[in-house]
Amino acid sequence: MGINKFTYTLGSLLFCLLAFAVQAQQVTVSLLLTFYISAQLADPQSTKAELGRLSKAYYQGFLIGLDSLNHPTKTIRLQVYDTDNDSVRTARILQLDEFKQSQLIIGPVMQGGNKMVSAFASQKKIPQVSPLMTFSKTRINEPYWIAANPELPNYARIFCHYIRQTNDTAVVIVITDKSPYDLAITPAMKKLTGEYKKIKFHFVEFTPSLDIQRFISPTVPVHILMPGNKEQNCYRLLYQLKDTTEHPHVAVYGFSQWFDFKTVDIDLWQRKNVHFLTPAFMDYSQEQVKAFVATYRHKYATEPGEEAFKGYDQARYFAQLLLDKGNNTIQSMPQQSHIGLSTSYRYTLTSTGTLFNNYLNVLRFENNKLVRVY
């Protein structure tokens, strides 16, 4: 079984001008992606083919991000490996001498092989980034394992932090329904009740007969979190609530899965003050976003999706940190925040020594347009 691999060396104009005066140092970044090339050729509509396209888009965005970096004395050598989501192939990659020179590992994108790479990264003390997905059910408790996106249990702390930033006192109502998001977020939220003294928490199980109005304070700000994404349940609850003209202090929070509902009622969402928590959001009115889209179109003759933006943002953050901080990349992350095109990176060090991104976009519709409010 062969290993698909290629390299890409980043050089800046500034480096070229100084090439004769300064011996450039080279830092090595390794990408472990799943391109599923054979699946894309055999069945373009398959799940594997779709994952391959997402990996390709991420890689293309990452390249644009690398091209935008600069450092007076360092360049980046990028090594790209196609794991094909195969643990045997991943194990062989880890044995390559060139891979052992990695100073930053990004990937794999899937759970398969991730623990194997994490063990390698921890042993070698190499930062390893999970670029597209998080694995809350199989959390790898390693100080060198970094999730680019917040894990679901951490949504609870980010949400509570947002509420505390916006209100001195508040009521938080969490609607439980045994959905995957509920099972991941609600237990974490319950652990925080003693930490946020000025927030009064209610954990309410959803039933068709639920009367949500009896939990709503007439004066104190009320924040209703619905971890579930069952369309019928979400709308049933919204119809009970008064419009924001009558209750401007009441807000509802859902997730980006709502955008996949059969009925996307933007007018209702605006009238009920619905907010959305999501790790990625692209504001196409921003000049920086427009510039990235134009560059991506020019280079690849297609439109950039969410994964392309993630690739760009992560190159701008993690690769730039490696250039600037070298072996101190991990230690520097809590002090080095970054505002990207689709998200921000605000890493917090936990008591167990692991890092997590303490940021989610908070969105809502205003005048029928989705905007970021936090």
Q: What's the pLDDT tens digit per position in 20-31?
A: 334 568 999 999
Query: What is the C-alpha to C-alpha distance for residues 343 and 358, in angstroms, rounded to an integer?
Result: 11
By the 8 A CB rule, do 91 and 67 touch? no
The better pLDDT of the pair 6, 224 is held by 224
364 beta partners: 275, 371
Q: Dump strand ranges (E) for the chain.
A: 4-10, 25-33, 74-82, 104-106, 128-130, 145-147, 170-176, 199-205, 222-225, 250-255, 274-278, 338-339, 344-345, 347-349, 355-357, 361-366, 369-372
pLDDT cut 70: percent of the chain above it:
91
* Mean pLDDT taken over the chain: 88
Q: What's the pLDDT tens digit per position in 61-118?
A: 999 999 999 888 899 999 999 998 888 999 999 999 999 999 999 999 877 778 889 8
Q: Which residue has the tokens 């970096």?
A: 69
Strand 361-366, strand 170-176: pairing: unpaired
pLDDT band with cut points at 50, 70 and 90 for residue 5: low
Please give the distance of CA 17 from its chain centroid, rounded to a whole number: 37
SS (H, E, C) 265-319: CHHHHHHCCEEEEECCCCCCCCHHHHHHHHHHHHHHCCCCCHHHHHHHHHHHHHH
Q: For position 8, what pLDDT does the model report?
A: 52
Kindly report the backbone phi and psi dihedral angles of residue 64, in degrees, each rounded to the nearest multiple of 5, phi listed first: -65, -40
Q: For position 356, what pLDDT does the model report?
A: 85
> Per-residue pLDDT for 10 more than 50?
no
Q: For position 137, what pLDDT does the model report?
A: 46
Q: Which of 132-136, 169-173, 254-258, 320-324 has the lowest mean pLDDT?
A: 132-136
pLDDT band with cut points at 50, 70 and 90 for residue 223: very high
Q: What's the pLDDT tens digit per position in 286-312?
A: 999 999 999 999 999 999 999 999 999
